[in-house]
Structure 1
Amino acid sequence: MAVDSQDTGRRLVPGPVPWVAMYHSVAPCQDDPYRITVTPERLETQLRWFHRRGLRAVSLAELLAARARGEGRDLIALTFDDGYADFVDNALPIMGRWDCGATLFVLPGRLGGSNAWDPRGPRKALLTADGIRHAAAEGVEIGSHGLTHLDLTKADDATLRAEVRDSRAALEELLGGPVAGFCYPYGTIDRRVVGAVRDAGYAYACAIDPGPLTGPYALPRVHVGQNDHAVRLFLKHRLHRLRRRPVGGSR
């Protein structure tokens, strides 16, 4: 579903923070030191659980647009970081069976490369430009994860601008349309980084646990991993509102 970026984070109605699930890779995960992988079987079980609870999984842009209208309390967002090639091979078919939307945050500076920023491995292939276009053609929202997966709080001003602005420009050229969302690599943020993302024209941005910076440019997310069976998902969803600050305006 296409969503106008002007309907997303800038006009959020104050209230509990939306429930946003954070995924990465969908593949066999015998060797997974960073806990970034869920198996296709586990993902299917998790999406089935959401469906049976009456929760509809959509892209983050769609969820935020609904919240801006005062709607969408039955919606959750699925986000996938890094742009692994296995998203197209493994996640998309499962999402199609459960009529799910999602947002995929990719790295246009590493197209067709690998997760070289993870020193302990294992190496995982990243999507090519054609793979990203294929995901977008299937209705997946594409967002920026920066150019190369740097901790932006440690970047100098020139590098920060390149990672934030140039990544958006590259994706908009690749897709032929606007890119509304940004996702901070490693989830690390500070006021300078949040300000750079806002000033670059994004409508919203995702973090992990942003604390006092929580808002449309620092949306918290819930990690969902291989060990998240029904009971753990229930607890994560139930406790989310108790752990998160309300979201108000964009400033």
Structure 2
Amino acid sequence: MYHRVGEARDAQEARYAISAANFAAHMHSAAQAGYRAIGIDAFIEWLQGERSLPEGALLITFDDGFRGVREHALPVLEQLGWPFTVFLVSDQIGGENVWTRGTNPHADTYPLLGADEIRDMQKRGCSFQSHSRSHVRLPTLDDGALLEELRGSRERLSTLLDDDVRYLAYPFGQADERVEAATHSAGYTAAFATQPGFNRPEVNRYRIRRLDVFGTDTAAMLLRKIRLGSNDGSLGNMLGYRLRRVANRLAGTAR
């Protein structure tokens, strides 16, 4: 899970903004390590037992729909021949990420993809899905507003793309059982959360896990996150994981 691709102005932005050079290093390192990106439909079909996937299959997603994804990420992913998915805030297409000012009135905002840019990227292998209408915290809404936030986004994006929008990424990663039920009622067949971990076929289709990639992550840290299914890509976490595996094997031998 990536967000904005572009330079960060401070340490706070660096959590969710990765430089173009670092993003390219991430993708090329993943390719060299034997990973390959797949499309979101292929991933869901695998979860449903309808197809197999190659070893090292990755699903690459971007939340919010920043213009920097088109400027900096698209050329790298096209070069690799890798599909990817962008989750759009439907009421802010062509605008800026104004929702950040809900928690920080002085926060800088950045341009989001416009309709023509979205349609062009769609032709070039990008899948666009929903990130709600306004990037609101869904559990805070009453039932009517919640359904409108979800259904309205899906309908508007389906019209824009001339294609069915089947998947949602929860804004801020926030969802509860009521939000899951509303997501299903609004016509989505799966939804993506922000909890890390591995996705097995039995995963809740409305709580699909994703790894949070930070702008400060090196390419080596990204590979460790993938291997561990963890948001902690530190060398210490990897060493601890290997020590635990050795200890478990030794314990099994002793028995």
Using structure 1 for the length normalisation, give the TM-score.
Answer: 0.82
Query: Which residue among 72, 81, 87 is the counterpart of 1:105?
Result: 87
Q: What residue is the counterpart of 2:5 in the other structure?
A: 26
CA distance in 2, matches of 1:170, 1:138: 21
Shift, 1:199, TM fit: 1.8
Partner amino acid for 1:44?
A: A
Question: Structure 1: which 5+ residue stretches go unaligned?
Answer: 1-21, 244-251
Report deviation, 1:205: 0.6
Counterpart of 1:147?
133
Highest relative contact order (Cα 8 Å, sep 6+), 1 or 2? Answer: 1
Paired residue type of 2:50:
R
Matched, 1:69 2:50: yes
Q: Which amino acid aligns with 2:225?
A: K
CA distance in 2, matches of 1:104, 1:179: 12
User: Contact conserved, 1:57 with 1:76, CA < 8 A, in 2?
Assistant: yes
> 1-side partners of 2:186 and 2:164: how far apart?
12
- The CA deviation at 1:32 is 5.4
Please state which structure has a larger fraction of its residues in helix: 2
1:58 shift after superposition: 2.4
1:225 offset after TM fit, Å?
1.8
Give the distance between the partners of 2:11 and 2:158, measured in 1 at CA. Answer: 32
- Shift in Å at residue 70 of structure 1? 5.0
Alignment-mate amino acid for residue 57 of structure 1: A
Quote the residue 1:135 is aligned against.
121
CA distance in 1, matches of 2:8, 2:79: 22
Distance in 2 between residues matched to 1:31 and 1:61, nearest whole Å: 36
Q: How much is the aligned-residue C-alpha RMSD, in angstroms?
A: 2.1
State the match for 1:78 in structure 2: 60
Counterpart in 1 of 2:186? Answer: 200
Deviations 1:95-138 (A, max 9, x none): 11122111100011112111111124221011111121112111
The equivalent residue for 2:216 is: 227
Quick one: structure 1 residues 226 and 164, their matched pair in 2 at CA, closer, same or farther if it must change by over 3 Å?
same
Could you tell me whether the CA contact under 8 Å between 1:144 and 1:168 is conserved in 2?
A: yes
State the distance in 1 between where 2:38 and 2:50 align: 16
Matching of residue 217 in structure 1 with residue 218 in structure 2: no
Q: Quick one: structure 1 residues 52 and 210, their matched pair in 2 at CA, closer, same or farther if it must change by over 3 Å?
A: closer
- Higher alpha-carbon Rg: 2
**What is the deviation of 1:30?**
2.8
What is the CA–CA distance in structure 2 between the aligned matches of 1:32 and 1:122, rounded to whole Å?
13
Do the aligned residues in 2 keep the contact of 1:107 with 1:167 (CA within 8 Å)?
A: yes
Residue 166 of structure 1 pairs with residue 152 of structure 2 = yes
Give 2:72's match in structure 1, choosing from 58, 78, 90: 90
* Mapped partners of 1:210, 1:222: distance in 2: 5
Q: Which amino acid aligns with 1:157?
A: D
Taking a change above 3 Å as real, the CA distance of residues 125 and 32 of structure 1, as seen in their structure-2 partners, is farther
- Number of residue pairs matched by the alignment: 220
1:142 Cα deviation after fit: 0.7
CA drift of 1:210 comes to 8.2
CA contact (8 A) 1:182 1:206 kept: yes
Is 1:236 aligned to residue 225 of structure 2? Answer: yes
Give CA deviations for 1:159-179 in whole Å, capped at 9, x if unaligned: 111111110000111111111
Distance 1:230 1:111, change over 3 A: closer
Q: Do residues 50 (structure 1) and 39 (structure 2) align? A: no
- Structure 2, unmatched stretches of 5+, are 198-202, 233-255
CA positional deviation for 1:158: 1.4
Hey, which bits of structure 1, 4+ residues long, moved more than 3 A? none
For 1:157, the equivalent position in structure 2 comes to 143
CA distance in 2: counterparts of 1:223 and 1:163, whole angstroms: 24
TM-score normalised by L of structure 2: 0.81
